[in-house]
Chain A
Amino acid sequence: MARSSRRLLILSLLAAWLAAPGAAAASSTEEARATVQGVVDAVLGVLRTPELPSAERRTRIEAIAYDWFDFETMSRLVVARGWRRFTAEQKQTFVTEFRELLAARYGRKLDSYGQEDVAVEQARQDAGGDVTVRTRIVRPGAGEVAVDYRLRNEGGRWKAIDVVIEGVSLVFSYRGQFQDILASKGPEGLIERVRQKNVGPVD
């Protein structure tokens, strides 16, 4: 009797111990998914307000994006191992310039918004704690595009650290291109190149 109840206790402890990480993972994927859903709703809300002037629309989307993307982490991941060669001041400048680069590149696309809808689908937990959330852009009559967001929990908030479009990651696309520039021209040279893109004629 005593023996079997002890065994029951051990078993239930074991079960609780086994279930705990799973439960934690489930809740963080759920949180991350909810965050993405919130951002998607906010962005679509702005895009679907046709009476907004184009500039105002862009300002609002930028406000959402600045809050939602972790540009510091993205910059560090893009520069990767070379990040240590940057002084604190260079890091700050780079983050600002890189953010502007992305804002210009994606901001221009806002005006071409058609009737796309975005479905937030499953989320996957990875070993390091990040969560990747799958979304799908559904374009009427033109098929779908898979867009995945990699999220990292920063002080209790889920922030995007990468965008992966049909398997192609934004972070790794820039990392590959920046590596050569960094190797030959150093941090200051890389910052200068990004700055030139930002001020120069883009198209």
Chain B
Amino acid sequence: MRKLSNIGARSWLALAATACLVGCATPGPWDPSQVSDPLEPVNRGVFWVNDKFDVYMLTPVAKGWDFVAPDRVQTSIANFFTNLRFPVHFLNDVLQGKPVAAGSTLARFVVNTTAGVAGLFDPASRLGLARSDEDFGQTMGRYGVPAGPYLVLPLLGPSSVRDAGGSLADSAASVWPFFVDTLVTVGVRATDTINARSRIHEEIEEERASAFDWYTFVRDAYLQRRVAQVRDEQVEPEAGSDAQYYIPDEGDEPEADADEPEADADEPEADADEPEADADEPEADAPEPDEHDDGSF
């Protein structure tokens, strides 16, 4: 009996250790060939509706608010909502095993709630207490859960299967909605959204105007940003996967060729045949199969 439970305990420990080995490993840098968007037609539809809502409803209101509200007021409101997200950041700092970040998050909440007048001001930043942006989506990513297919949620915008689940958990962890009326919650969310939108409407309009494909631009930017957040780009310089920075040009770059097979080994899907085609057949025909891949991409 004792032996049995001993084995049980040991295998449990081994399992936990393995989970940590797998889980604690930082995921790889951004690699465009990993974009997964099987629901693209549906996503594009939802994106279109969201975009129209943004252009005709949200932006005019946000612009009006940006016009009447001084920058200081906008910043204070943003600070207030950031402070309310304390439980989410704190919990996820803890879940990701970051005691320093968790301590800093806790101290920020205490300082900004008291000295910062219920979070309207941000004296904690002046004290050098670092902000945390951790959420459940990132925590899952940290433990090896892949983002899964890209999703565009109605009104909420870009997400992924993993991050949509994470957002649900985040809402559950934000304690305050439980204490107030639904109508108040909706009003508060609207205020938060309009205020946040009002601070960046110029940038958004500029990006929209300069994009070649607004949907693809937003999708790729969102997915890249999430990879960087999971990898904690605040700590390390962040660029894409190294292999993606060496594109062999008609086979005249021996060092680039040497890099490509590595990329093959990592991603056996879709991408695998492209570098091979590059390396083996430098003729003009090679791009043809690419075109198909690119179309579905």
Contact = CB atoms under 8 A, between A and B. Distances in A.
A150 B239 contact: yes
Interface stretch (B95-103, B178-186, B215-223): B215-223
A103 interface: no
Contacts of A76: 247, 249
Interface residues of B, number: 51
Contacts of B30: 167, 169, 172
Interface stretch (A6-14, A45-53, A56-64, A129-137): A129-137
B107 to A, nearest CB: 18
B221 A128 contact: no
User: A interface, how many residues as a size bin?
Assistant: 35 or more
B247 A83 contact: yes
Interface stretch (B1-9, B45-53, B159-167, B229-237): B229-237
Interface string A100-134: 00000100100000000000011110111110111
B220 A203 contact: no
Interface stretch (B86-94, B134-142, B206-214): B206-214
Contacts of A108: 206
A161 B245 CA distance: 9
Interface string B227-265: 111010110111110101111011000010001000000
B297 interface: yes
B191 interface: no
B242 A164 contact: no
A184 B296 CA distance: 12
B216 A176 contact: yes
B244 A197 contact: no
Given A123-B237, A176-B216, A166 B32 contact: no
Contacts of A161: 245
B203 to A, nearest CB: 9
Nearest to B288: A85
B10 interface: no
B249 A167 contact: no
Interface string A131-168: 01110000001110010101000000000011010111
26 contacts: A81-B278, A83-B249, A85-B284, A105-B210, A108-B206, A124-B237, A128-B255, A128-B259, A130-B239, A142-B75, A150-B239, A167-B30, A167-B231, A167-B238, A169-B224, A172-B220, A176-B35, A176-B219, A176-B297, A180-B213, A181-B213, A183-B291, A184-B295, A193-B212, A202-B209, A202-B210
Given A121-B237, A169-B224, 7 more contacts: A80-B247, A84-B284, A162-B245, A167-B231, A167-B233, A168-B224, A176-B297
Interface of A: 76-77, 80-85, 105, 108, 121-124, 126-130, 132-134, 141-143, 146, 148, 150, 161-162, 164, 166-169, 171-184, 193, 197, 202-203
